[in-house]
Structure 1
């Protein structure tokens, strides 16, 4: 009986082997990097090469020139000799350079504060407007933002022209006769103030639109709860609005620091850094040094110091920002 049972006992069905994926010239198996191969690197190669050529190479070339004795002769013949940090020592020992550094930070601080205050107010105003008013204001901001820098600078030059400027005419008609044929660009504080107004006017549209976009992410329920609790507008902004939009607010500040720190075109077209050195900041100082006495080495050194100072300001700013985020977390 046992033998019969053994013979008639059912056998388990044989396991069916899984079909192997075809690997041939038409279809490759998965590679070690997830099956993508080198194609992602091939696709981003043009962008990487363009960035290296347009950004990294000029920066590296400026660093090399700042370490050389590089004047007009060396520019033509190409026999520049390395002098180490001699150019930086000459630059840092110049009292005019430190005066320009002080003016640069003052220019940056005034512009950034005005830009952020005005942009925040404009963004809050847009949020409270109706559909038609919001569209009109946003369209105006976009058109202002799209105006070329040279065109905007030329407009401001004509506005404050001593003979044909509308500003002098309006002030004279209002009874301020001292502004008749007043030469704005011949006075240092006046020229400085006009440049600040120009930079702020060009920067507010971008900052205001960005902040308005951040304001749209604040839940309306928070505002309603705060109003029911009797919170004032300032308290609502401080306790609800600003904490929500704070990351975007800090990002805009960092962008505006970079924008104002490297402002060159407006100053060069409008005043060339004058009168005297009243509107000379570090980028203008670097170009003046390179072009006036053909000292391209000192100009490159000034540019490198500008990059280091701007990087230091941003590093300090980001450190404070991350520290505050850690405290809130």
Structure 2
């Protein structure tokens, strides 16, 4: 209430909406009604469910153009007889599954298959073991030594493949190679102008060292990054329980980084299995095609021998083999995700 100068008290009027405030405003629409209205002129916008598809549309179209179309053409070519004569005459008669039956009955093809899988298994084993050990070392080193080692790993990883192949060819050169000099210095005989690329086995060993050398930095740096996610309390608990370094790795590190090992091994299997530049640039699959993997075998049959239909069949079988191998690995990854 209000007190006047004369001392009389009067009740103050209750708060009420002013008439000048205009008409009462309605609350904004919500839910599906709001989604269907546009901020301008009431025009309807695209449904929100279409937005993700519109965003990935260009990427899907590009992949279909650059990857899916060549794959389909390659599969069609694998059912055609296209040799040098047919290529010159621009003819591509279909011959059914003759290319596949010829390959599956060829002992050389199966020799290359076995060599490719052994090459992949050996490389992946070396890469994962040595890369994990270097990653553990990075986690234990001090700040400056870790920086120096990380820079060395990055430079090795970033080195162009052809340049690294050239360096390894110099190292194993027949006349002026460092390896021949080192073997003679250590007292081994028979290494005067020794040809390290004389046999397919020695060539594959050198290529394996090259591929592992170029891939270990990826595993090592990712291993170090993954180790930073393991809490120090877990290491301290293992140390209090009396666990040594090996037991700490299997009981603490490996269970926490199991998904990292699965995904990294999966990537390395794909990268090593399809390795082409290192194998071809080192010795072009020689000597006498004794160091060919499936990728080199398909290239030589197509470009050097002129059997284009047969080369397409080799590439299709290579994809099928890789998919079969990876399907088992996908099961492990999905099982690991379900357990988490």
Which range, TM-score by smaller chain?
Answer: 0.7 to 0.9
Q: CA deviation at 1:27?
A: 5.2
Cα distance in 1 between the residues matched to 2:57 and 2:130: 41
For structure 1, which runs of at least 5 residues remain unmatched after alignment? 1-13
The answer as to 2:169 corresponding to 1:151 is no
Q: 1:23 to 1:305 in 2, by over 3 A?
A: closer
> Are 2:259 and 2:336, in contact at CA under 8 Å, matched by a contact in 1?
no
The answer as to 2:87 corresponding to 1:72 is no
Give the equivalent residue in structure 2 for 1:226.
238
What does the per-residue CA deviation read over 1:75-97, in whole Å, with 9 as the maximum and x for residues that have no partner? 34433122221111111111110
Cα distance in 1 between the residues matched to 2:302 and 2:25: 80
Give the equivalent residue in structure 1 for 2:150.
138
Specify the structure having the higher radius of gyration (Cα): 2
Higher mean C-alpha deviation, range 254-263 or range 171-180: 171-180
Cα distance in 2 between the residues matched to 1:194 and 1:269: 12
- CA RMSD of superposed structures (Å): 2.2
Cα distance in 1 between the residues matched to 2:204 and 2:93: 39
Question: 1:308 is paired with a residue of what secondary structure?
Answer: helix
Q: 1:85 to 1:227 in 2, by over 3 A?
A: same
Question: 2:317 is paired with a residue of what secondary structure?
Answer: helix
Q: CA deviation at 1:222?
A: 0.3
The answer as to 2:255 corresponding to 1:237 is no
Question: 1:82 is paired with a residue of what secondary structure?
Answer: coil
Cα distance in 2 between the residues matched to 1:86 and 1:314: 27
Cα distance in 2 between the residues matched to 1:214 and 1:107: 27
For structure 2, which runs of at least 5 residues remain unmatched after alignment? 1-22
Q: CA deviation at 1:177?
A: 2.7
Give the equivalent residue in structure 2 for 1:11.
none
Give the equivalent residue in structure 1 for 2:18.
none
The answer as to 2:132 corresponding to 1:120 is yes
Q: CA deviation at 1:245?
A: 0.8
Give the equivalent residue in structure 2 for 1:47.
59
TM-score by length of 1: 0.88
Number of residue equivalences: 312
The answer as to 2:247 corresponding to 1:247 is no
What does the per-residue CA deviation read over 1:167-194, in whole Å, with 9 as the maximum and x for residues that have no partner? 1112112221311110000122211110
Give the equivalent residue in structure 2 for 1:4.
none
Cα distance in 1 between the residues matched to 2:329 and 2:56: 31
> Are 2:112 and 2:297, in contact at CA under 8 Å, matched by a contact in 1?
yes
Give the equivalent residue in structure 1 for 2:4.
none
Give the equivalent residue in structure 2 for 1:61.
73
Cα distance in 2 between the residues matched to 1:16 and 1:173: 94
Q: CA deviation at 1:278?
A: 2.7
The answer as to 2:329 corresponding to 1:314 is no
Q: CA deviation at 1:31?
A: 4.1
> Are 2:38 and 2:45, in contact at CA under 8 Å, matched by a contact in 1?
no
Cα distance in 1 between the residues matched to 2:28 and 2:284: 76
